[in-house]
Amino acid sequence: MVAQENGAQANAGEAPRVVCYTRTKVATKLGNALHLGYSEDGRHYVALNNDACVMALRKVDNEPGLTEEQKIPGVMKTLTAPYLFRMKEGGFGVVALRTDQNGISDVSATGSFLFIKSRDLVHYEPEQLCRLPVSEMLEAVSCEYDEAVGKYRVRWMIKGKVFQSHTADFLRFSPVKAVPKLDGVQEKITGNQRNFLNACFGNSLALTVEEGKYLKNKLGRIVNVGVLPLEMSVPVSPSVISDIRKKRATLLYSDGSRAEKRVIWNEEDLKSLTSATSGTYAVRGKIFQYSFNYPVSMSNCADPNILYYQGKYYMVSTYEVEWNRIPIRCSDTLDGLTDANHRWKEAVLIQGEGPHWAPELHVIGSRLYMLLAIIKGDKGVQAYMMQLKENGDPMKPEDWSTPIRVVKSDGSPIYTDGKTEGLSLDMTYIEDGGKSYVCWSDRKKCFVNGKDVDPGPVLRIATVDPKEPWKLTSTPSVIGSEAYSWSFCIRPLQLAEGPFVLESKDDNIYMVYSGGGVTGGNYEVGMLTARKGSNLLDPASWSNSPRPWMNNGSPVSQVGPGHNSFVRDEYGDLYNVYHSGHRPRHTSVCPVHFRFDGSPVIDMAPYEEVNPNLQQVEMRVRLISPSK
């Protein structure tokens, strides 16, 4: 937590408040975006979304003045000088100034400001560029609803002078007049390494208790705050110990959510019950957590994937030491796969001349497949599959088929040549509503007047038949094409790679993807959502979050986390498997938690999952006579 220094605001009482800001000394695409901080009492603030943005601007690909070469990939835009206000009809508004990819005033937005609507400061409508009746660059902007006029009062600064106009629709503006100052007060808050690092603050806004609670619970860190009392009644029988071993603890979290966690019960206490008669007994236990040697679990393993299959855990990854081979690791336990525990055996599943990337293991139909990307000759990186023979051993290379090229419905490859047609990689498999799909990172070649124009990688999805999953049965569709500035790589080009679907408890499909780079601190994780049972081939079925869901430092001490997959262990608990770091990259694992509304938390730290002070538990066991 950090203390607010602005004296006037510090006396505002105990009402919750939200403050907006941007950040410097980070990549422009990350810092020049809307950030929010939250305060329970109007004095002490904490950064939301791990000090990462809550909304970044979309790429621009349809504005006047863009060339055809610019329209294909789109142009990255950023923002600065945000200002929060309330909409008359309810909800919130944000005004800001648009900047270019370098954080410099955007010449194409001369005389303009950005207007963004949000119902709750978590979800945002597409931004609108509002043209004022002026022809100079704005230096700052504010907006408030003017009850006396019945319109919104927009004020802006040009060359140190402040002007004002009114608008009802942010399209038409009244005549401009000079005024003494902008609305609002720029906040001053002390930052640290975890909160408001190199922040440039805008104004703050009072919230209702319910608004503040929702904002904090959706964008704040979620931590374990309690454990429900443990008790159970079981009949005296030979199975009493096995019945107790199955008992889980219900953990309570700061957002009101709950999670059932395994408990390792004290063996001495259990043994004492083998000869016990009816009565009440205390059994001690410890809430279970895997030993993943956080934050680095498996070294030199990028693009990791773990599958629990036929009683064992199998892990495949891009091998950072030698890219031309795919190792496979096997263990009886999930944490046995880690370097430190070393309860695993390993084999080289495939080795070739060119790089082999991003393998994933999936059971499709009744067979085990490995989806992977391979560079063969001058064809560029393309998607392949390998099939395990019936009753085969996943650890034996000879039990796998040779790589099968993924093809379209007519039998031709997705792309024949990477130099002239395109690239396909990072393929994953999805099932929903009785249908099977594959989704992958796609980089289709585009040419304008004979010039090669790189559109950047996007995600494509198509249906497949589980009997022949390497053959597409529909025309591929692009999803999540509205790239946000945080997802752009250095060139700058939009980047979407490593898609993978998380099994959720609610009615949504959550698909993670990674962007912002390939390694290092700019690599972050985004989220696409769709309703279960919807037409997943329809781009309109998917919603792309304008904020990263996992970012640099959100898993503590980790740089550039991403390229996720998820594994459900033998007990039904879900874990996020991802890599972090620069070259080399390493694999880490963390638990997946579900917030109060069913949305996933994919960057929970061990001490947030289970409060160390609450890990030791005691259960009241009532043994009942079988005759009762």
Per-residue confidence at 295, pLDDT binned at 50, 70, 90? Answer: low
Per-residue confidence at 628, pLDDT binned at 50, 70, 90? Answer: low
Rounded-to-10 torsion of CA 51, 4, 186, 39: 60
Token pair for 176: 């401009």
Per-residue confidence at 293, pLDDT binned at 50, 70, 90? Answer: confident
How open is the CA angle 154-181-161, to the nearest 5 degrees? Answer: 90
Q: How many CB atoms lie within 10 A of CB 406?
A: 24
426-461 pLDDT tens trace: 999 999 999 999 999 999 999 998 899 989 999 999
CA–CA separation, 407 vs 414, rounded Å? 5
Tell me the torsion sign for CA atoms 164, 165, 170, 171: negative
pLDDT for res 5: 37
Residue with tokens 């690599």, as numbered in its chain: 523
pTM across the whole model: 0.94
Per-domain boundaries in the chain? 2-219, 224-289+613-624, 301-609
Contact 163, 141 (CB under 8 A): no
pLDDT for res 6: 39
pLDDT for res 598: 96
Mean pLDDT calculated for residue range 312-333: 95
Helix boundaries (H) for 165-277? 209-219, 240-245, 267-272
582-598 pLDDT tens trace: 888 999 999 999 999 99
Per-residue confidence at 294, pLDDT binned at 50, 70, 90? Answer: low
Decide if pLDDT at 158 tops 90: yes
CA–CA separation, 360 vs 306, rounded Å? 8
Neighbouring residues of 470: CB distance < 8 A, sequence distance ≥ 6: 384, 385, 404, 405, 406, 407, 464
- At the fourth CATH level, the homologous superfamily of domain 301-609 is Glycosyl hydrolase domain; family 43 (2.115.10.20)
Annotate 126-185 with DSSP letters as a single string: PPEEEE-S--S--SEEEEEEETTTTEEEEEEEETTEEEEEEESSSSS-PPPEEES--SS-
CA–CA separation, 464 vs 76, rounded Å? 34
Beta strands 616-624 and 301-309 are: unpaired
Per-residue confidence at 9, pLDDT binned at 50, 70, 90? Answer: very low
CA–CA separation, 573 vs 437, rounded Å? 24
pLDDT for res 317: 96
Contact 342, 333 (CB under 8 A): no
Q: What is the DSSP letter of 614?
A: G
Q: For residue 618, which phi and psi values (nearest 5 degrees)?
A: -140, 135
Neighbouring residues of 257: CB distance < 8 A, sequence distance ≥ 6: 222, 593, 594, 595, 596
CA–CA separation, 427 vs 358, rounded Å? 8
Query: Architecture of 224-289+613-624 per CATH?
Result: Sandwich (2.60)
Decide if pLDDT at 378 tops 90: no
Q: In sequence order, what are the beta bridge partners of 617?
A: 285
CA–CA separation, 105 vs 112, rounded Å? 11
Q: How many CB atoms lie within 10 A of CB 571?
A: 13
Helix/strand/coil percent split, the chain, to 5: 10, 45, 45
CA–CA separation, 197 vs 302, rounded Å? 29
Q: In sequence order, what are the beta bridge partners of 562?
A: 579
How many H helices and E strands in the chain? 7, 44
Highest mean pLDDT among 320-324, 437-441, 521-525: 437-441
The helix/strand/coil state of 49 is helix
Decide if pLDDT at 296 tops 80: no
Contact 496, 483 (CB under 8 A): yes
CA–CA separation, 111 vs 137, rounded Å? 5
The helix/strand/coil state of 15 is coil
Percentage, residues of the chain above pLDDT 70: 97
Q: In sequence order, what are the beta bridge partners of 344?
A: 331
Tell me the torsion sign for CA atoms 531, 537, 540, 544: positive
Beta strands 161-167 and 151-158 are: antiparallel
Beta strands 422-432 and 458-465 are: unpaired
Token pair for 201: 């603050």
pLDDT for res 383: 97
Mean pLDDT calculated for residue range 135-163: 98
Average pLDDT, the chain: 93
Per-residue confidence at 11, pLDDT binned at 50, 70, 90? Answer: very low
Mean pLDDT calculated for residue range 234-240: 90
Residue with tokens 């040419």, as numbered in its chain: 447
87-136 pLDDT tens trace: 999 999 999 999 999 999 999 999 999 999 999 999 999 999 999 999 99
Mean pLDDT calculated for residue range 525-546: 97
CA–CA separation, 144 vs 93, rounded Å? 9
